[in-house]
Structure formats: C-alpha cells, structure tokens
Chains A and B, each alone.
Chain A
Amino acid sequence: METFLAWASTLCISIGVFLGITGAVGIFRLPNFFTRLHAASVTDSGCAFLLLFGLMLQSGFTVPTIKLCFILVFFLISSPTAAHALSKTALRSGAQPTPSPREDR
C-alpha cells in the first residue's frame, strides 16, 4: 500500500511538473496576451491540481490533507474566475484575441 501510494504520487507530481514546464515555456514564447493566458491557466489548473493531489496521497488521513483539500478547492474555483475576469477586462480595454499577421509564419 505504501509503495503503491508512493508511486502514484510520484506519477501525479511528475505529470504536474511536466504541465507546469509546458505552461512556463508557453508564457515565455507565445505571441499574444490571450495565448499566454491559456498557457498560464494550463499551469493553474493542471499543474496545481496534480501537484496538490500527489501531496494529498502522501499525507494520509490527517489535518494537512484537509488543508491541501481546501487549497485545491480554492484554486479550482478562483483560478478560472481570475482568468475569466482578466480576459474580460483585456477584451473590453481593447486587446485583440487573434494574433496580428506578422506572427502567422
């Protein structure tokens, strides 16, 4: 059981880290604000969820698990809301969702 939990949380954390690095490369290289927003939300949802879930598997049925669960639920609700609010404000302030022609190579 211990071994299974250890390997399961290793898998979760590894995939989470991979998604995080993907998002980091994306936010660095993508051309437009809205595309970068998508890259950032990949990290906020995928990476955060898998990392926290992997940590929850490791800590058993104790109080830290409940706190991790709170953090997870908070992220699940607040990250999409922040992304929504950010994109709405950007759109209404004049940023354009489609990349300009010079980036289409």
Chain B
Amino acid sequence: MNGMLELMHSVYAGASLALLAVMGSTLVRAILGPSAFDRVLAANMFGTKTVLLLSLLGFLSGRPDFLDIALVYALVNFLSTIAVLRFFEGRTQPLAPDTIPASDRSAHISPTEE
C-alpha cells in the first residue's frame, strides 16, 4: 500500500518535470515564433500545460483545492485566445508585413482581405 503511494508520488513528480520541459519548448516558440499566430498558438498551449501542471502539483502536495484554480486557468486561457482572434478580425488596417513570414504567405489571398 505504501509502495503504491511511493510509486504514484514518483509518477507525479516525473510527469511534472516532463510538463515543465514541454512548457519550456512552448516558451521558446512564443519568443522565437516568426509569425504572430505562432505566438498565439504557443500562448494557448502554455495555458493548457499550466492547467495540467497545476493539477499534478495539487495531487503531489495532497491539496485538491488547486483544481478550482486549474478550472479558472482553462477558462481565462480560452478567453484570451478568443480575444486575440477577434482582435485580428476587427482590424481595419492590414497586418504588418512581418507578422506573417514570407514562406507562410499565400499567393492569391492578400493580407487585407476580410
């Protein structure tokens, strides 16, 4: 019985470390990402990984209160992603040329098309 608890504890710890590595990779993409959409994607993914990390930390430290916070994080992450996308939709000026890298830009859709 105690062995099972030890096992689960180490599983939670290992999963937390792996999630931290995932978050690191996402952060690099958020800083580097050549286009604006890469950064929005990275921010969204960072939010969902934070939710998972918090749930794991809650189980690691034995406090189920953290799940309320995890739910709120999921919510505000979704809210900020949708807000960013509505911001893109609502712009009357065209996007700056370096927001989308030339390799991603399509030939027959111009950036000002709405």
Asked if residues A94 and B105 are in contact (CB atoms below 8 Å), the reply is: yes
Q: Across the A-B interface, give the 6 residue pairs with the lowest CB-CB distance, nearest first.
A: A24-B25, A96-B106, A64-B64, A100-B103, A67-B67, A24-B22
* Majority SS at the chain A contact face: helix
> 27 pairs across A/B with beta carbons < 8 Å?
A9-B8, A17-B14, A17-B18, A20-B52, A24-B25, A27-B26, A27-B45, A37-B41, A43-B22, A44-B48, A47-B22, A48-B51, A52-B52, A62-B64, A64-B67, A68-B55, A68-B67, A71-B67, A75-B48, A82-B44, A82-B78, A86-B81, A94-B104, A94-B110, A95-B105, A96-B104, A96-B106
Q: What's the minimum C-beta distance from A86 to chain B, rounded to whole angstroms?
A: 6
Interface of chain B, main secondary structure: helix
Residues of chain B having any CB pair with chain A under 8 Å = 1, 4, 7-8, 11-12, 14-15, 18-19, 21-22, 24-26, 28-29, 35, 37-38, 40-42, 44-45, 48-49, 51-52, 55-56, 58-59, 64, 67-68, 70-71, 74-75, 78, 81-82, 85, 88-89, 95, 100, 103-107, 109-111, 113-114
